Amino acid sequence: MDAHLTAYQRWASFEQIDPDLKAELRTITDEREIEDRFYRHLEFGTAGMRGIIGAGTNRMNLYTVRRATEGLARYIRSQNKREKGVVIAYDSRHMSRQFAEAACGVLAAHGIKSWLFAELRPTPMLSFAVRHLHAAAGIMITASHNPPAYNGYKVYGEDGGQISSSTAAQILQQIAAVEDELRVPFLSYAEGENQGLIEQLGEEIDQVYVKQVLSLSRNPEKVRQMADHMQIVYTPLHGTGNKPVRRVLAELGFSQVAVVPEQELPDPNFSTVTSPNPEEHQAFVMALELARQSNADLVLGTDPDADRVGMVVRTAQGDYQILNGNQTGALLLAYLLEHAAATGSLPENGVILKTIVTSDLGRAIAASYGVETVETLTGFKYIAEKIANYEQTGERQFLFGYEESYGYLIGTFVRDKDAVQAALLLCEMAAYYKSKGKRLDQVLQALYQQFGYFVDDLLSFTFKGKEGQQQMAKLMTRLRQEPLTRIAGYPVVSVLDYAQGRDGLPPSDVLKFILEDGSWLAIRPSGTEPKIKFYLSSLAQEEDRAHEKLQQMKRFALELVE
């Protein structure tokens, strides 16, 4: 019998299986669906695991969560860190609380204490709590901005950053040694609490975190001066950002913050949006309706686990311009550096961290202040690793880290992208420039005029199931064997292949083709989703020319995939 059928039979005949999963298993009769659900264990990569909720070894459910936690618990014991405990947080998705409690139960069976947040919290607060409580690890139950059918499980190291590739490999080894995911030992939540192995976290952590976020304010007096004149619209997109974002804005002094009522409360179905992702323009439809009613200066939206934030700014015509992650990051960077230079607080060894697929506009801005930019692989954990490295060596002083996918970090008390920090500083930045009679779209135009028009876009192609993985691998192999020499007629002057590691970076399945004018195309299969992503960056001295070239590059990319 095929391995996937054996695994299916094992689940179907397991008497103690969760009743909901038992009922679901009875409905699965299609051979291909059985194969998809059972042909492998849900992959545990460097960022943990993420998948569709449901029955099967290749799905997110109580048993795949227990299996992953069993591996983590064995790893923690092998490192003699059982006494340090684990912090666990969860977002607003289906089954998030149940998965969090399942993780607590497995850790408790190993005698490892867990601190579980009493209610949903953002990912950056989990990162903060791991550091604050000196825990051995953190678990975040979230699928970030994925559709409602998904959930996920992310593991954080004791520095509060996502685990390194080497740690992930060791945990994966322990997970692979778990003989039967259906029979992983665990204590009930009540037993764990009674034995003092599960403790709830609440307001005390929130207070320390909020105080740290507020300490990042560069111009609190400007905020006080402008607070009543700044109209802000915010949407948490049914996620975890609602309370912390509103709290920090209120405590800094912003009094005119309107929250989209239909999207304010947690909703695991994210019923008002196609996708709860601030990278998608559609996510801002309701927020923009509200903004037009109040002539808001600024619109912000955070994803379900509040580690990403998107921004929309009002233009001279009174309409609204949705900014992408590169534009928001460039504005925030320029604001932070302008303030540091004006106050004489710019360190000689300051450094900006960005990923290899993030626009080079940030690098140009940083260079104008004499600040170096260092690139990392895609994924904020690499930025966190660099911060830790600089802290140990004293070689550089971290000033700002960001990635094109709407993730920003200013204060290192968190070691992952933090939409709460970013929301605070974006509102402060808008207030500061408004006090000088400038809108953010004008500030952005001034940056383009000074440094060139960097116009960026992302194309994402989905390849589902086992066949999809093979198709993506085939495309990358072809591009390595026959590298592109021209893109939309423009000659390629440099090919960067990160597969074997380069520029001191670990190996990664990424190809980057650079054109002679500094424009580029990067191709990267996603590590967490069945997608291949094409990152495009067009550079020109005139705006029209930059956009025209970008369209040509996009058409080329589409033909390449087809």
Q: What is the DSSP string of 234-299?
A: EE-TTSS-HHHHHHHHHHHT---EEE-GGGSS--TT-TT-SS--TTSGGGGHHHHHHHHHHT-SEE
| Contact predicate 536/554, CB 8 Å | yes
The three-state secondary structure class of 327 is helix
User: Where would I find the H helices in 369-507?
Assistant: 380-393, 419-435, 440-451, 465-481
Give the separation between CA 275 and CA 269, rounded to whole angstroms: 10
Give the separation between CA 497 and CA 509, rounded to whole angstroms: 8
Give the separation between CA 133 and CA 84, rounded to whole angstroms: 9
Instruction: Map tokens 């976290």 to a residue.
Output: 201
Which listed residue (92, 96, 127, 144) is catalytic?
144
Backbone angles phi, psi at 22, to 5 degrees: -60, -45
| Contact predicate 442/521, CB 8 Å | no
- Segment (H or E) for 38: helix 31-38
Per-residue DSSP letter, 404: T
Give the separation between CA 27 and CA 552, rounded to whole angstroms: 48
What number of helices (H) and strands (E) belong to the chain?
A: 19, 21
Per-residue DSSP letter, 306: S
Instruction: Count CB atoms within 10 A of the CB of residue 98.
Output: 17
- 144 flagged as catalytic: yes
Give the separation between CA 107 and CA 88, rounded to whole angstroms: 11
| Structure tokens belonging to residue 534 | 């094409």
Strands 531-540 and 453-462: antiparallel
| Contact predicate 66/183, CB 8 Å | no
Burial class (CB in 10 A: 0-12, 13-18, 19+), 412: middle
Give the separation between CA 232 and CA 313, rounded to whole angstroms: 10
| Structure tokens belonging to residue 484 | 């592109």
Give the separation between CA 184 and CA 102, rounded to whole angstroms: 11
Strands 137-141 and 114-117: unpaired
Query: Which residues carry out catalysis?
Result: 144
